[in-house]
Chain A
Amino acid sequence: MNSLMIAAILLVLLGLAYQVGWSRSRALATSGGGRFHSRFHYHGALVAIWAVAPAALILGLWALFGQTVSASYVQSLLPVELVSAGGNPLATAISRVRALASGYGVAGEVADYEAAAADALARFQLIVTLIVVGSAAACGILALLFARRRITPRLRARNQVERAITLLLVACSAIAILTTVGIVASLVSEAIRFFTFVNPLDFFFGTVWNPVFSSTGGGSGRYGLLPLLWGTTMIAIIAMLVALPIGLMTAIYLNQYAPRGVRAVVKPIVEILAGIPTIVYGFFALTTVGPFLSGFGAMIGLDIRGTSALTAGLVMGIMIIPFISSLSDDILSQVPTSLRDGSYGLGATQSETIRRVLLPAALPGIVGAFLLAVSRAIGETMIVVLAAGNSPVLRANPLEPTSTVTVSIVNQLTGDTDFTGPQSLVAFALGLTLFVITLCLNVVALYIVRRFREQYD
C-alpha cells in the first residue's frame, strides 16, 4: 500500500464525491425542488470537500505519527536489556528490524529475536495500513453521504466552498510562516547550546577566530566574531562601492535617456546578470578577476593577493548591479512624470532635472533598494568561499585575504560533524547573527520603500 495508491484512492473519492454532489443537486432541481441558491458545480465541490477532508486528515495523522507508533511496537518486541540500554544500539536495532521487515535485508548475522520481531512488524504494518486506509475510506464515504443528504435548494454551497478555499489559502501561507518560525527556533536553540560552551561576550567581542577541532568539548579554540564580521563588512562595502554607482547610473540611463529600442535590449541583458548562479561568479572571481588583480597589482607595485577581500567584493558588486539597477529603475518610474515636466517647463536640462528633482524624490526608495542589496551582499556565500581567501584574521587591508561569517559557517559544517561540540554549534550562533543583521536591514528597507510608495500613490 504505497503513497501513490493512497493518492489515487483520494482522487477517485474526490471525483466520485463531486459527481454525486453535482448530479444530486441537478436531480433535485429538475424534479422541481425549487430555485437553487448555488449552481450545481458548487454543490459538487462542497460534497467533494466534505468527503476528502476527513480522509485526508486521517491519512495525514498517520503520516505524522505512524513512525513513532511502529517504533514503540518494535521496542516492545525487542529484548528488555537492549531497550533499557537505550541510545545508539537501540536505534540501530530498530532500524535493522525495519529493514528486515521491509524485505531489504541487513548486513551481518540476523539474530533470532530480530527475525521474529521483523515478522511481527511486517504483519503489524500491514494490519495498521489496512485499518488506516479502511477507516479513511469509510469516513470519506460516510461524510460523502452526509453531505449528499444536506443538499437542498437553500443550501449556500457557494459561500461554503468560498470559505473552504479561503481556509486552504490561509493554511498554505501559514506553512511559510511556520517554516520561518521553525528555522528561527532551531537557530536560537542551537545557538543557546553553543553559548553553554562559549561565553557570549567572548563570541560577540572576541577578536580571534580559531576554532580548533578537539574531540572533547571545553575551552579549546577561540570563537571571536569580530574578524568574520569585519571581513563581511569590508567585502559588502567594496561590493556596494561597485554596485551602487554603476547600478544607479544604469537605472538612470535606462529610465531617462535610453530610447525605447535600446531599453528593450539593454534591460533584459542587465537582468541576465541576476540569473547567473553565484557559484559561477565564484569561478569567475577565482580564475579571472583574482589573477588579473594580482597581475595588475604587480604592475603598479602593489601586493594584491589573487584571493582577497577586493576580488570577492568586486565580483559581488557585479552580481548586485542588476539588483540595484532594476529596483532603482522601478523607483524612478514611480516618480510622477508631472514633476519631470514641471522641471523641464522651467528650463531645467535633463541632468539638472535628474539631479535636483528626480533623485531627491526617489531617494527614500533608492536607500531602501540599497539596504536590500546590502543584506544580499552580507548573506552571499559562494563568491566569498571561493574568492575571499578564507583567512579569518582581523586586518584592515582589503588587498589581503579575509573571511566572512558565511564562509566560516560553511567551514564549520562541512566534513564530519556531530552537533555536540562548539566547533559545529558555532555555526548556528553565526547563522543567527547573520539572520538578525539581514532581518534588521530588510525591515528598515521595506519600511523606507513603503513610506516612499505612499507618497505618490
Chain B
Amino acid sequence: MNQVLTSRSALEMSATHSKDALASHQTVRTPDPDAHPSRLRADGVSVFYGDKQALFDVSIDIPEKSVSALIGPSGCGKSTFLRCINRMNDTIEGCKVTGDITLDGQNLYDGNLDVVELRARIGMVFQKPNPFPKSIFENVAYGPKIHGLARNKTDLEEIVVTSLQKAGLFEEVKDRLHSPGTGLSGGQQQRLCIARAMAVGPEVILMDEPCSALDPIATAIIEELIDELRSNYTIVIVTHSMQQAARVSQKTAFFHLGKLIEEGPTEAIFTNPREKRTQDYITGRIG
C-alpha cells in the first residue's frame, strides 16, 4: 500500500514537474569520450498524432557500431522515436514529424529522399515476431528480391544462408529452409526476422522491444546475438527491461512523457543518473 502511494506521488510529481518544464525543456547529457563517431543524428524531433503531440523536441546522436538503448515507461514516446528513424510513422494516418533526422548528413525527411532506399539502409525488427506466411528461405529472400540484390539463384541462396548464419539460426533450420517460417518457435521466429532485416544489407538496425514476446532463454540468445552484431551494425533498441538495456547497450536514453530526459553512457545512466526522474525510473519508482 505504502509503496503504491509513493510510486503514484512520484509519478504525479514528475508529471507536474514536466508541465513546468514544458516551456524550456533541457535534456541532461553525459558525454562519452570513448563513443564511436555518430552518423545518425536527430535534431529537435517532434511527433504529432493528429492534434496530440507524442514527442517533444528530441535531439540525440546515435554512435555507429554500438548499441543504443531507448528506455522509459509505456507511452513515453520511445517507440515513436524509433519509428521516426526509418520513417515507419509514414504508414500511420494523421502522423506528422517535424525536426531533422540525418544519416551521413542527409536529412531523412527531405522531400527528395526515397523512403524505399532509406528502409533498405535502416532495417527494423518488431516487438512481435512477424515472419511472413512463407517458407524460411522466402522470408529471408524477400528483401533481396524486392531490391534486386541478387543477380541469380546462387547469389540469392548465398545471401539467405549468410543472413541466417549471422542471425545464428542457420544451424537450427538448415534442413528445413523450405518449411513455413511461422512454424518456428517464438525465439527462432524473431531471429528469422533479424536475418530477414540483415539480408537487405542495412547499416542501422532498429529493434522495437525485440524480446518482449519471448521467454528468458530465447531472450538471452537474442541479447547475445545483438552483442555480436554491434561490431558491424549500428543498433538502436527500445526496451522495457532496464536489465536488458544495461546488459546490451553502450548508450542509454531515458524518455518520459514524450521528452528525452537524459542520455549518456549506459554505465553512467545506471550507476549515476543525474536527473531525478531517471533515478526514479531505474529504481522502479515510476513506470
The interface of chain A, by Cβ under 8 A from chain B, is 259-260, 336, 338-349, 352, 356-357, 360-361, 455
Bound CA–CA A335/B131 (angstroms): 12
The minimal Cβ–Cβ distance linking A165 to chain B, given in whole angstroms, is 41
Q: A68 to B98, alpha carbons, bound, how many Å?
A: 84
Within the complex, which residue of B91, B126, B134, B146 is in contact with A347, where a contact is CB–CB below 8 Å?
Answer: B146
Q: By the criterion CB–CB under 8 Å, are B142 and A356 in contact?
A: yes
- Residues in chain B near residue A341, CB distance under 8 A: 88, 91, 124, 126, 130
**Once bound together, how far apart are the Cα atoms of A348 and B116, in whole Å?**
6
Instruction: Provide the residues of chain B in CB contact with A348, threshold 8 Å.
Output: 116, 142-143, 146
- For the complex, is B167 an interface residue (Cβ under 8 Å from A)? no
Which of B193-201, B224-232, B249-257 is found at the contact surface with chain A? B193-201
Q: Kindly list 14 other residue pairs between chains A and B, CB separation below 8 angstroms, not including A340-B91, A346-B200.
A: A339-B132, A341-B124, A342-B131, A342-B196, A344-B91, A345-B86, A345-B88, A345-B123, A345-B197, A346-B143, A346-B197, A349-B146, A352-B146, A361-B132
B134 partner residues in chain A, CB cutoff 8 A: 360
**A174 to B142 alpha-carbon distance, docked (Å):** 51
Chain B contact-residue range equals 20 to 34
Interchain CA distance A174-B200 in the complex, whole Å = 59
Of the candidates B126, B131, B133, the one whose C-beta lies within 8 Å of that of A345 is B126
Bound: A352/B143 CA distance, A: 11
Question: Within 8 Å CB of B88, what residues of A?
Answer: 341, 344-345
Query: Is A346 a contact of B142 with CB atoms below 8 Å?
Result: yes
Closest residue of chain B to A364 (Cβ to Cβ) is: B133
A346, B128: Cβ atoms closer than 8 Å: no
Among A259, A260, A338, A352, chain B packs the most CB atoms within 10 A around the CB of A338
Contact indicator A345/B146 (Cβ below 8 Å)? no
| Cβ A259 vs Cβ B93 within 8 A | yes
Residue among A342, A345, A361, A455 facing the most chain B CB atoms (10 A cut-off): A345
B134: min CB distance to chain A, Å? 7
Q: Residues 104-147 of chain B: 1 if any A CB is under 8 Å from the residue's CB, otherwise 0?
A: 00000000000111111001101010111110000000110011
Q: How far is the CB of A262 from chain B (nearest CB, A)?
A: 11
Report B169-209 residues with CB < 8 Å from chain A CB.
193, 196-197, 200
Q: Would you give the shortest CB distance from A276 to chain B, in whole angstroms?
A: 32
B147 surroundings in chain A (CB, below 8 A)? 347
Q: What residues on B are CB-neighbors of A455 within 8 Å? A: 133
Total A-B pairs in contact (CB under 8 Å)? 68
Give A361 to B200 CA distance when docked, in angstroms.
22
Residue of A nearest to B121 (CB): A347
In contact, B123 and A346 (Cβ under 8 angstroms): yes
Q: Which residues of A contact B132 (CB under 8 A)?
A: 339, 342-343, 357, 360-361
Chain B positions within 8 Å of A361 at CB level: 132-133
CB-based contact B146/A346 at 8 Å: yes
Q: Is the CB of A347 within 8 A of B119?
A: yes
Q: Pick 17 A–B contacts, CB within 8 A, sort by A.
A: A339-B132, A340-B91, A341-B130, A342-B130, A343-B132, A345-B88, A345-B119, A345-B123, A345-B124, A346-B123, A346-B142, A346-B197, A347-B146, A348-B143, A349-B146, A360-B132, A360-B134
Residue of B126, B131, B133, B193 ringed by the most chain A CB atoms within 10 A: B133
Secondary structure at the A interface, as helix, strand, loop or mixed, is: helix
Once the chains bind, are A347 and B200 in contact (CB under 8 Å)? yes
Give B196's nearest chain A residue, CB to CB: A346
B3 to chain A, nearest CB (A): 36
Residues of A within 8 A of B93 (CB): 259-260
- A349/B130 contact (C-beta < 8 A), A341-B91, A344-B91, A356-B142 known: no
Query: How far is A439 from B76 in the complex, measured between Cα atoms in Å?
Result: 54
Chain B residues with Cβ under 8 A from A352's Cβ? 146
Q: How far is the CA of A360 from the CA of B139 in the complex (A)?
A: 13
Residues of A within 8 A of B146 (CB): 346-349, 352, 356
The 5 closest A-B pairs by CB, nearest first: A347-B119, A345-B124, A338-B130, A347-B120, A346-B143
CA A179 to CA B193, docked complex, whole Å: 53
Question: In chain B, what residue has the closest Cβ to A456?
Answer: B133
- Cross-interface CB contact of A338 among B123, B126, B142, B197, cutoff 8 Å: B126
Kindly report which residue of chain A lies nearest to residue B139, judged by CB atoms: A342
**A344 contacts B126, CB within 8 Å?**
no
> CA A340 – CA B91 in complex, angstroms?
10
Known contacts A342-B132, A360-B133, A361-B132; A347 and B143 CB within 8 A of each other: yes
Chain B residues in 8 Å Cβ range of A357: 132
A344 touches B119 (CB 8 A): yes
A347 / chain B contacts, CB cutoff of 8 Å? 115-120, 143, 146-147, 200
B143 to chain A, nearest CB (A): 4
Task: For the complex formed, measure the closest distance between the CB of B137 and the CB atoms of chain A, giving whole angstroms.
Answer: 14
In the assembled complex, how far is the CB of residue B237 from the closest CB belonging to chain A, in whole angstroms? Answer: 15
Contact of B130 with A336 in the complex, beta carbons under 8 Å: yes
**CB neighbours of B130 from chain A (8 A):** 336, 338-339, 341-342
How far, in Å, is B175 (CB) from chain A's closest CB?
24
Give every chain A residue within 8 A of B143 (Cβ-Cβ): 346-348
Contact B197 A343 (CB under 8 A): no
CB distance from A343 to the nearest CB of B (A): 7
Tell me the complex Cα distance, A340–B124, Å: 13
Q: How far is the CB of A297 from chain B (nearest CB, A)?
A: 44
Give bound CA distance, A336 to B115, whole Å: 22
Q: Which residues of B contact A259 (CB under 8 A)?
A: 93
A122 to chain B, nearest CB (A): 75
Complexed CA–CA distance, A184 and B107 (Å):
70
A451 to chain B, nearest CB (A): 12
CB of B235, distance to nearest CB on chain A (Å) = 15
Q: Complex formed: what's the CA distance from A346 to B146 in Å? A: 9
The answer for the CA separation of A338 and B190 in the assembled complex, in Å, is 13
Which residues does chain A contribute within 8 Å of B131, judged by CB atoms? 342
Contacts of B120 in A (CB 8 A): 346-347
CA A457 – CA B241 in complex, angstroms? 28
What residues of A have a CB within 8 angstroms of the CB of B200 in the complex?
346-347
Interface 1/0 per residue, B27-53 and A, CB below 8 Å: 000000000000000000000000000
